[in-house]
Amino acid sequence: MLFDEFEDEDNFGDAPVTEAGDGLVPPREMTSCTGQENIESFVLAMAQSQRMPHALIFAGPEGVGKATMAFRLARYLFKHGNTEDDSGGLFGEALPAEKPENLSVPSADPVFRQVASGGHPDLMTVERETDEKTGKVKSGVSVDSVRKVAPFMRMTASQGGWRIVIIDDADTMNRNAQNALLKILEEPPEQALLILITHRIGALIPTIRSRCRVVNIPPLSRADFAALIRKEHPSMPADDIDTLYAIAQGSAGQGLKIAEEGGLEMLDTVLSLMDNTGQPDWSAIHKLADKLARPGAESSYRAFCDVMLWTNESLLKATACQSELPAGIARLEALKIQYSLEDWIKICETLRDHFETFTRANLDKRQAVLGAFGIYQDRKAA
């Protein structure tokens, strides 16, 4: 079912694609949400039913349009949320109001411009802040930011309609921040809407999930993914798009990031180091580790992590299902059979923990690369 809860998922940033030629822009500026027409119809029906829940959770993989959908809904409610089903016509008879067919608000409309600029008085956006000292985005949404939500939602709307709060990366709130949010969920004010955007719904405490309507936003279809990728990379070969689709798991946002980070080229590099033997060329690996540890190589390092995780998870899946490897890594068949299913499960678990540890603690990327290849040797020795 589309609207049942997702399991935890670890993917990448929520940055779906806008119209051709516009490039990647913030979700609040998006004019479309390609590939999520079924979800939009469902959300529109809620908005037009006059029974909009006081809180929604948009859940699913990163990069598939959750934030874009949230801002589309916010604009719609600001524009049409006060429209009654009936209006007084000639001699006072009730005339049915014409209902919009989708959530779109023209980009020239003042509501669109206010939301896009972050200047709409009845909209609050809460997200992870940037550390002033390091310039990096903090690991979680702060409790101080969350504590501002309840007072904002209880205020009278400046324009006489809805008050809306969108919390991005809601799954990064710690327990104190989530408990602070419960206060407004337990006593929601009228015509106020809270939208939580989460990539790992299991990270939200059960009491929050039970008080919200969960809308699961799925990965894009192969056709929609390809159409969006080709808007940025019109000459990309179909085989490369197929590989990107598999690595990004249907996330156009992640697919574009991987392409821009050189992920396809990195895949060739990784495959050449893993190819057939299961005995990596340590001289070449040391050269790669040195390259990825240099200042300015952060995007290449992220591409390396993405490719390594996908490659090994594909090997695990093919072993478990006794199926063929994806076309992009078919050359690793000889490596696949060197390890048992139990081995591949352990390799994948260890590799994911390995990268998460190095990222969380900001450890030496050179050692992260060397250690990733060392996992195979360690498993053989186990």
CA-CA distance, 262 to 248, in Å (whole number)? 13
pLDDT band of residue 135 (cuts 50, 70, 90) is: confident
Token readout for 230 is 């080709």
Average pLDDT over residues 305-325: 94
pLDDT band at 123 (very low <50, low <70, confident <90, very high): very high
Distance of alpha carbon 127 from alpha carbon 193, whole angstroms? 16
- Cα three-residue angle 269-271-274, rounded to 5 degrees: 115
* Res 299 pLDDT > 90: no
Q: Can you give the pLDDT at residue 87?
A: 45
> Phi and psi dihedrals of 123, rounded to 5?
-120, 125
Other CB atoms within a 10 A radius of the CB of residue 27 amount to 25
Residue 277: per-residue pLDDT:
55
Q: Is residue 12's pLDDT more than 80?
A: no
Chain mean pLDDT for the chain: 86
**CA 299 to CA 118: how far, in whole Å?**
28
35-77 residue pLDDT tens? 999 999 999 999 998 788 999 999 999 889 999 999 999 999 9
* pLDDT band per the 50, 70, 90 thresholds, residue 97: low
205 or 93, greater pLDDT: 205
User: Looking at residues 248-272, what average pLDDT do you find?
Assistant: 89
